[in-house]
Copies of this chain bind each other. A is one copy, B any other.
Amino acid sequence: MEESNHAMRPNERTHRVMVGSVPVGGGAPVAVQSMLNVPAADAAGNLAQIERLAAAGCEIVRMAVPHPADLDAFERVCAESPLPVVADIHFDADIAVAAAKRGAAALRINPGNIGGLARTDAVLDAAGQAGIPIRIGVNAGSLDQALKDRTDLSLPEKLAASAVEYAGYCKERGFEDLVVSAKAHDVMTTVRTYRLLSEAIPTVPLHIGVTEAGTQFQGTIKSACGLGILLEEGIGDTLRISLTDDPVTEVRAAWTLLSALDLRRRSPEIISCPTCGRTEVDLIGIAHEVDERLQKIGRPLKVAVMGCVVNGPSEAADADIGVACGKGSGVVFVKGNVVRKVSEDAIVDALIEEIGRL
């Protein structure tokens, strides 16, 4: 049993594993994941989606391999992918064993639906031989019936107990390169479960996420709330924001969250006032256009778009650059100092031009 050091944040105490070239745990930057949603047999389609995900800042990608017939496509995707590919396997341990041999950077299994611990053994052996980590991913839907029936435990306690039991089994079998997840679609169930896990298995890296969080609007809010609470407490070594949407949107949301928490920054951040009865320009239109054009800039930068004198340059003094709008015009400022005054229709171009000069 490793000694836990409580002066360290939870995600500094964890045992580091490597998913391909990406470190997870042991104080490594919280890694951004997503999952492919192209049919598994379509290798070219999956590779094209991986390119888009990599461009958006995805660091680890997961691919479902539902049928043995999908293994050829999976192998090709692993061989040609610029990102490490995790095989997501349910029900059939043989596919997991095969995926380990065919180039998976990691396996994700749920012992609760893979045929029990006996079938899990074969997967542990295959991963051990391939030198790759395993994520044990527990979900509320596949909890062991005996555990489900326990009336003395809350759902977070059941989820955590299940994950802890599986993790303990893997360690007893000598398999150390584990990552654990136990997601729920309910935000507070997710938060409570991961707090329990962080206490119970403090050295195991945690993959955090709110599962089935919904479409973009609701899903980003639920995920930012739940994962924000956990990450702020230092819990979580890698994350996926699950949205019923383009996986690229999941990655964009993950980076926005990490940036909000001041953990990692990758893209420009916009500081824009919410408008009110004082606003005398089409600020919502201007902010959206700036937002859109900033997407192409792959470096951290704080850009302010302010609607009036109340929220002018002084309110956004820490922005790298910004514009404060008055009646039909705006002043562009760099680090709080005005550099240009332009008419309303020239605001976005002027701002983007000045960003290019920074």
Given contacts A187-B261, A212-B271, A228-B224, contact A36 B244 (CB under 8 A): no
Q: Is A343 interfacial (CB-CB < 8 Å)?
A: no
| Contact between B212 and A256, CB atoms less than 8 A apart | no
- Complex CA gap A27/B78 in Å reads 54
Assembly of this chain: how many copies? Answer: 2
**In the complex, which of the residues B70, B142, B217, B318 contacts A252, with contact meaning CB atoms closer than 8 Å?**
B217
| Contact between A260 and B187, CB atoms less than 8 A apart | yes
- Complex CA gap A351/B39 in Å reads 26
| Contact between B291 and A214, CB atoms less than 8 A apart | yes
Q: Is A329 interfacial (CB-CB < 8 Å)?
A: no
0 or 1 for each of A249-285: is its CB under 8 Å from B? (1 = yes): 0101100110011100000011111111111000110
**A191: nearest chain-B partner, CB-CB:** B232
* A25 CB contacts on chain B under 8 angstroms: none
* A311 CB contacts on chain B under 8 angstroms: 139, 141, 211-212
Q: Give the shortest distance, in Å, between A193 (CB) and chain B (any CB).
A: 14
Given contacts A37-B279, A229-B232, A277-B70, contact A215 B141 (CB under 8 A): no
Q: Which of A16-71 contact B (CB under 8 A)?
A: 35-40, 46, 62-66, 70
| Contact between B277 and A141, CB atoms less than 8 A apart | no
| Contact between A90 and B260, CB atoms less than 8 A apart | no
* A318 CB contacts on chain B under 8 angstroms: 186
- Complex CA gap A312/B191 in Å reads 23
Q: Give the shortest distance, in Å, between A197 (CB) and chain B (any CB).
A: 17
0 or 1 for each of A298-328: is its CB under 8 Å from B? (1 = yes): 0000001110001110111110000000000
| Contact between A314 and B224, CB atoms less than 8 A apart | no
0 or 1 for each of A178-215: is its CB under 8 Å from B? (1 = yes): 00000001111001000000000000000000011111
Q: Is A160 interfacial (CB-CB < 8 Å)?
A: no
Q: Is A340 interfacial (CB-CB < 8 Å)?
A: no
Q: Is A135 interfacial (CB-CB < 8 Å)?
A: no
- Complex CA gap A279/B37 in Å reads 8
Q: Give the shortest distance, in Å, between A260 (CB) and chain B (any CB).
A: 4
| Contact between B224 and A277, CB atoms less than 8 A apart | no
| Contact between A185 and B316, CB atoms less than 8 A apart | yes
* Contacts beyond the supplied A140-B315, A211-B311, A212-B304: 14 A-B pairs with Cβ under 8 Å: A37-B275, A64-B278, A141-B312, A141-B314, A141-B315, A185-B316, A212-B274, A218-B270, A218-B291, A225-B232, A225-B261, A229-B229, A244-B273, A250-B274
14 contacts between A and B (CB under 8 A): A35-B274, A46-B277, A63-B277, A66-B278, A140-B317, A141-B317, A185-B315, A188-B260, A212-B315, A216-B217, A220-B224, A221-B253, A229-B232, A245-B284
